[in-house]
């Protein structure tokens, strides 16, 4: 994983924004990075197609700039971390992505929930879109499941699928863990093929339980070999686990049971199924994880 020196932080002035910013300052201190803190003004009349006076939009931007200045003074006034604030104008997702490109950001940090009345419709969908389309890794924090600030990252869960992309992900996780002095929990989830496909095949005589046991045992051996190939000589503590069930549910459950501080996963996996399988898994984990989720697009 390349160095994190420029972090873009998206805020929305909701009750959770200060908490998201505290998480960002924690990462910035760890990596000696600077922060770019942005708020995007999205005109509701533009979204609805209703005509409006340009003066209204100008006033919305001016008011947002005042709010951002106050927010930064309150939350960053005594910070030694280099930072700058900016109000963006336009579609929230597009403006965040464009700003990340323009600023050459190494990491985007944002919440999965925002204004309580619209959080599922607006902020949740924005986070998922940024995860899918972001030009750099994206760290999402669910403020409803985190404490007052991000705690030390000492245990990182890394799901793998044995694809070439998961090797890239593991390399990034090793680098991040080394800088954080964290241990890795490398996980592979066996998902029953019949459950996944929704097929019922009653005419095939098969011992399903035996078949699943063989899948798990085979996956354990494969994971062992995968780690021998990719962790040899690496000075990072790690353990491994094979789980069985729904991928997103098993990952989130494992993170809860193992008291994981962060999940680090890719947005793409096996090329033929990446949009259907891995992409949807990443989005489900972002929505429901009990800890921050760092997603990485291996193609960027």
Q: State pLDDT tens for residues 11-67.
A: 988 878 888 998 899 899 888 999 999 999 886 655 555 555 677 778 889 999 999
Give how far Cα 142 sits from Cα of 17, 114, 167, Å. Answer: 11, 10, 27
Write phi, then psi, for 207 (nearest 5 degrees): -85, 100
- What would the pLDDT profile of 170-210 be if each residue is shown by its tens digit? 999 998 898 888 999 999 999 866 554 444 555 555 666 78
Ranges 101-115, 134-148, 257-271, most confident? 101-115
CATH of the domain at 25: 3.40.50.620
In the prediction, which pLDDT does 98 show? 97
In which domain, by residue range, is 93 found?
6-141
Asked if residue 135 lies in contact with residue 97, where contact means CB atoms within 8 angstroms, the answer is yes
Q: Which token pair is 59?
A: 């006033």
- 173 shares its domain with 281: yes
Write phi, then psi, for 124 (nearest 5 degrees): -60, -45
Distance CA 156, CA 150 (A): 14
- 210 shares its domain with 243: yes
The mean-pLDDT minimum among 5-9, 131-135, 257-261 falls in 131-135
- Residue 124: pLDDT above 70? no
- Quick check: is 1 in a domain? no
- What would the pLDDT profile of 200-232 be if each residue is shown by its tens digit? 555 555 666 787 788 899 999 999 999 999 998
Question: Could you give the number of structural domains in the chain?
Answer: 2
- Confidence tier at 116 by pLDDT (50, 70, 90): very low
- What is the residue-averaged pLDDT of the chain? 83
- 17 shares its domain with 118: yes
Give how far Cα 115 sits from Cα of 65, 112, 131, Å. Answer: 18, 10, 19
What SS3 class is residue 250? helix
In the prediction, which pLDDT does 279 show? 55
Neighbours of 221 (CB within 10 A): 10
- Quick check: is 93 in a domain? yes
Write phi, then psi, for 86 (nearest 5 degrees): -155, 140
Distance CA 120, CA 55 (A): 30
Give how far Cα 61 sits from Cα of 16, 40, 68, Å. Answer: 21, 9, 10
- 20 shares its domain with 96: yes
The mean-pLDDT minimum among 47-51, 76-80, 103-107 falls in 47-51
In the prediction, which pLDDT does 278 show? 46
81 or 126, higher pLDDT? 81
- 166 shares its domain with 68: no
What's the count of helices (H) and strands (E) in the chain, helices before strands?
Answer: 10, 10
In the prediction, which pLDDT does 263 show? 96
């Amino acid at each position: 994983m390349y160095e994190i020196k420029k972090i873009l932080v998206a805020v929305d002035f909701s009750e959770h924004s200060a908490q998201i910013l505290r998480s960002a300052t924690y990462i910035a201190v760890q990596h000696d990075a600077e922060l770019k803190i942005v708020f995007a003004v999205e005109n509701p009349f533009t979204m609805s197609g209703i005509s409006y006076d340009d003066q209204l939009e100008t006033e919305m931007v001016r008011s947002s700039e005042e709010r951002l200045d106050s927010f930064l003074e309150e939350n960053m006034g005594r910070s030694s971390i280099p930072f700058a604030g900016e109000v963006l104008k336009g579609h929230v997702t597009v403006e965040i992505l464009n700003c990340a490109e323009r600023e050459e950001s190494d990491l985007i940090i944002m919440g999965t929930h925002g204004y309580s009345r619209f959080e599922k419709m607006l902020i949740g969908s924005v986070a998922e879109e940024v995860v899918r389309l972001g030009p750099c890794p994206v760290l999402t924090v669910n403020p409803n499941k985190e404490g007052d600030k991000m705690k030390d990252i000492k245990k990182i869960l890394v799901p793998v699928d044995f694809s070439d992309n998961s090797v890239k992900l593991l390399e990034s996780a090793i680098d991040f863990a080394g800088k954080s002095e964290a241990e890795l929990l490398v996980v592979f989830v066996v998902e029953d093929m019949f459950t996944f496909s929704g097929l019922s095949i009653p005419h095939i005589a098969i011992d399903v339980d035996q078949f699943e046991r063989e899948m798990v045992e085979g996956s354990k051996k494969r994971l062992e070999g995968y780690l021998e190939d990719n962790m040899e000589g690496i000075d990072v503590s790690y353990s491994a686990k094979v789980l069985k069930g729904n991928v997103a549910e098993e990952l989130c459950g494992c993170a809860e049971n193992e008291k994981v501080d962060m999940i680090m996963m890719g947005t793409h996996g096996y090329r033929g199924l990446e949009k259907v399988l891995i992409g949807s898994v990443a989005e489900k984990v972002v929505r429901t994880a009990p800890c921050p989720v760092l997603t990485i697009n291996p193609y960027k």
